């Protein structure tokens, strides 16, 4: 849908580029508008760990409509009632955390798709541009929009990855390195050889399956080597803190 810039995001990746984004945790939608004007390809609106409400998420999604930036939303959990209202905001993608089995992946896809493919409840509002788009056209668009992004962030998911990748309807796999390291008893040690090997395995299998690969992590070089298609390299509070420190240090 043009309303969420997903076509631009997909086109850049199809042309061989890597889409770069930022994580949004602050409530003020100005942050998202700024991200779009700065040139980010997408935002990661974090409704899992940040104190967002549906209203603040909507503000962030709407703030990007006049930019070239695609809004993604990470849901708090893989649950029908949690995911449904986020989908009705017409984001470019929905990131579903902690998917560890084929059955959980199937449930995630079903939560995002209208019948007969899934069990998403129908309450189109923003997706039809409040009536400007005929429902029949919107339903065709909704088969591929928003993107369904499955987060692999537990060692159990790594073990079950072959089966997960076989689930129809998954548009992208997103690696969660910190929680993955925690599930291996090595929280935050994403450069640990065992953790790095698990991440490499996820990336290799995802690329081999022809599925888009993404993450929210830094630095960029190791992820570029792994073939990442999209990556959130920073966050709003982190950017603000780092720039503040630079200004203070420059004033010494």
Classify domain 2-250 at the CATH topology level. TIM Barrel (3.20.20)
Catalytic residue among 49, 52, 60, 154: 49
pLDDT digits (tens, 9 = 90+) for 157-203: 999 999 999 999 999 999 999 999 999 999 999 999 999 999 999 99
CA distance readout (Å), 51 to 75, 84, 163, 216, 245: 12, 19, 34, 18, 25
pTM given for the model: 0.96
- At 2 the pLDDT is 79
pLDDT digits (tens, 9 = 90+) for 70-108: 999 999 999 999 999 999 999 999 999 999 999 999 999
CA distance 213 to 172: 6
| Closest CA relative to residue 4, chosen from 122, 142, 108, 121 | 142
pLDDT digits (tens, 9 = 90+) for 118-127: 999 999 899 9
Examine the residue annotation and report whether 49 is marked as an active-site residue of this protein.
Answer: yes
Check residue 219 and report its DSSP letter.
Answer: -
């Amino acid at each position: 849908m043009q309303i969420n810039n997903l076509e631009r995001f997909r086109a850049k990746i199809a042309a061989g580029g890597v889409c770069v984004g930022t994580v949004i945790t602050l409530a003020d939608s100005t942050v998202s508008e700024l991200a779009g004007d700065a040139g980010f390809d997408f935002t990661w609106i974090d409704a899992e760990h940040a104190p967002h409400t549906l209203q603040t998420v909507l503000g962030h999604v709407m703030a990007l409509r006049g930019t070239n930036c695609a809004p993604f939303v990470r849901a708090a959990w893989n649950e029908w009632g949690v995911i449904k209202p986020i989908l009705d905001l017409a984001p470019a993608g929905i990131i579903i955390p902690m998917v560890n089995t084929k059955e959980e992946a199937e449930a995630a896809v079903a939560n995002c798709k209208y019948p007969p493919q899934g069990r998403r409840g129908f309450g189109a509002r923003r997706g039809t541009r409040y009536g400007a788009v005929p429902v029949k056209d919107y339903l065709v668009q909704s088969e591929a929009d928003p993107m369904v992004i499955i987060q692999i962030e537990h060692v159990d998911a790594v073990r079950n990855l072959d089966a997960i990748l076989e689930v129809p309807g998954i548009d992208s796999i997103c690696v969660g390195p910190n929680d993955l390291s925690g599930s291996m008893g090595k929280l935050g040690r994403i450069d640990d050889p065992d953790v790095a090997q698990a991440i490499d395995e996820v990336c290799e299998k995802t690329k081999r399956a022809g599925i888009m690969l993404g993450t929210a992590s830094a630095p960029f070089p190791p992820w570029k080597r792994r073939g990442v298609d999209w990556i959130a390299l920073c966050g709003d509070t982190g950017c603000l803190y780092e720039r503040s420190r630079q200004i203070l240090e420059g004033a010494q």
